[in-house]
């Protein structure tokens, strides 16, 4: 079995694969202050909850955009799981050419998403990952990562508004009944919700014009299910896309681990 871990700025997702099938997945809050032992005990408890013995794990693969946690997770894996983890870093085989100005600057999470998408869908592709930041990744018909866009995530956008505009109340994020709000709460909800849908559709429209109008648009990430019904350009949601990408990358490089 394979343990796949995606460490994001806000959430960390863990998945357990039996061959090519994802049989369990868990999501927890990313906490930089937690120790190696705390993570180790937590992961061991999750495995126990899933009825999985530690010695049935044959590998572990990690994508992280939180560098302070890399050593913590690596040490945890060795001590508690007796596994040498594979991290998604420059130099591994991906099968994805990075046709951009600075390949080393492309985040591991974006590479993983594109690899996962290519394992399930035919290019050209645009992958939208709704996380702490929302990333738009373009893959050409030749299976090349050709760039994309990065926008503030919904949560960051809302938090910034509430922090900088002292008189505006903090409101729950949800779709209002109408675009024209009749009170302060629905005004804010309209701006956040429909404004973000407009951002997503606007970026996708321009990217499709550049990549190709036949591009499939795949959405993933925590808020994908919220935006998908409102977007005219997203074709499908794939909630496990990042974990699938991690599995594929491990298979391409497993002889080293």
Give the catalytic positions in this structure: 109
| Residue with tokens 């590998």, as numbered in its chain | 59
Residue 227 bridge partners (DSSP): none
Per-residue H/E/C for the chain:
CEEEEEECCCEEEEEEEECCEEEEEEEEECCCCCCHHHHHHHHHHHHHHCCCCHHHCCEEEEEECCHHHHHHHHHHHHHHHCCCCEECCCCCCCCCEECCCCHHHCCHHHHHHHHHHHHHCCCCEEEEEECCEEEEEEECCCCEEEEEEEEECHHHHHHHHHHHCCCCCCCCCCCCCCCCCCCHHHHHHHHHHHHHHHHHHHHHHHHHHHHCCCCEEEEEECCHHHHHHHCCCCCEECCCHHHHHHHHHHHHHHHHC
């Amino acid at each position: 079995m394979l343990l796949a871990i995606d460490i994001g700025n806000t959430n960390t997702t863990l998945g357990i694969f039996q061959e090519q099938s994802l049989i369990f997945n868990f999501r927890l809050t990313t906490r930089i202050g937690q120790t190696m032992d705390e993570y180790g005990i937590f992961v061991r408890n999750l495995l126990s909850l899933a009825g999985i013995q530690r010695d049935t794990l044959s590998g572990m693969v990690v994508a992280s955009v939180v560098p302070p946690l890399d050593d913590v997770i690596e040490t945890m894996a060795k001590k508690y799981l007796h596994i040498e983890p594979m991290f998604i870093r420059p130099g591994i085989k991906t099968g994805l050419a990075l046709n951009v100005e600075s390949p080393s600057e492309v985040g591991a999470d974006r590479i993983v998403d594109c690899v996962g998408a290519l394992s399930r869908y035919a290019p050209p592709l645009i992958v939208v990952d709704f996380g702490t930041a929302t990333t738009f990744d373009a893959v050409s018909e030749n299976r090349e990562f050709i760039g994309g866009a990065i926008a503030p995530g919904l949560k960051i956008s809302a938090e910034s508004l509430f922090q900088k505009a002292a008189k505006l109340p903090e409101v729950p994020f949800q779709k209002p009944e109408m675009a024209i709000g009749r009170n302060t709460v629905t005004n804010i909800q309209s701006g956040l919700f429909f404004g973000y849908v407009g951002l997503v559709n606007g970026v996708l429209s321009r990217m499709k014009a550049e990549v190709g109008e036949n591009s499939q648009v795949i959405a993933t990430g925590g808020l994908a299910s919220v935006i998908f019904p409102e977007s005219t350009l997203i074709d499908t949601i794939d909630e496990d896309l990042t974990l699938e990408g991690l599995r594929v990358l491990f298979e391409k490089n497993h002889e080293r681990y």
